[in-house]
Amino acid sequence: MKYILMILPAAAIVCGIFTGRLPEVSAAVLESASGAVTLALTLCGAMALWSGLMKVAEEAGAVKLLSAVLSPAVVWLFRGLEKGGHAAQLICMNLSANILGLGNATTPLGIRAMEAIQEEEGGSGASDGSASDNMIMLTVLNTASLQLIPATAAALMTAHGAARPMEILPCVWIVSAYSLAASVGAAKLFGHFSRKKVRRADN
């Protein structure tokens, strides 16, 4: 990837020289750099606002309340984990942070939840470098998570002059729900076939 990033600007400069349009290339580079800085500053402001609001919601207990609501679904999705155990609690907190758009909180919670799953399963999958079904399910849920407030997308739309960036909410919810359902269904299906294959090999 680093070689591609080096080759692309070099190719643009060479093409500009051979076509006699080097001034246009230079102008485009400066304009792009200026636009990138402007976009970054706009995103920083928007993300600071949403992160602050979500932090207030977290301190107010919204994450814990949502974790309690998600607990039955977590028990069904993560088979074999102790109900109300440390791993289940961390998974609920991780999913709650994802749903509320608390991006800074999701990564450490996800890592801790993964470690708790491995510990509760007795190190399953660690010896041969493979992941257990519950580890895969946690990864799937974090990759295709349902998000109630898409702060990053709203910030990008605001930076590009959108008058009502939150109009995308219904579309985001529908697409996220379909994506989540398809991902969970695929993980469950492949997990079933994998366990079936292991049982056949043992027999």
Predicted confidence (pLDDT) per residue in 179-199, tens digit? 888 888 888 888 777 777 767
Give the pair of three-digit tokens for residue 22. Answer: 């080097």
Counting DSSP H helices and E strands in the chain, the numbers are 8, 0
Mean pLDDT on 71-85: 81
Q: What is the pTM of this model?
A: 0.62
Q: pLDDT value at position 43?
A: 65
pLDDT tens track for 95-126: 877 777 666 667 777 888 888 888 888 765 54
Residue 134 has pLDDT above 70, yes or no: yes
pLDDT tens track for 15-62: 878 888 878 878 887 887 787 787 777 667 766 766 676 677 667 777
**What is the percent of the chain where pLDDT is above 90?**
0
Sign of CA dihedral 35, 41, 45, 46: positive
Q: pLDDT value at position 50?
A: 60
Please check whether residue 105 is in contact with residue 97, taking contact to mean a CB–CB distance below 8 angstroms: yes
> How far from chain centre, in Å, is Cα 7?
30
Per-residue CA distances from 32 to 10, 24, 26, 28, 165 (Å): 16, 12, 10, 6, 23
Please give the backbone phi and psi of residue 82, each rounded to the nearest 5 degrees, phi first. -65, 130
pLDDT tens track for 135-144: 888 888 888 7
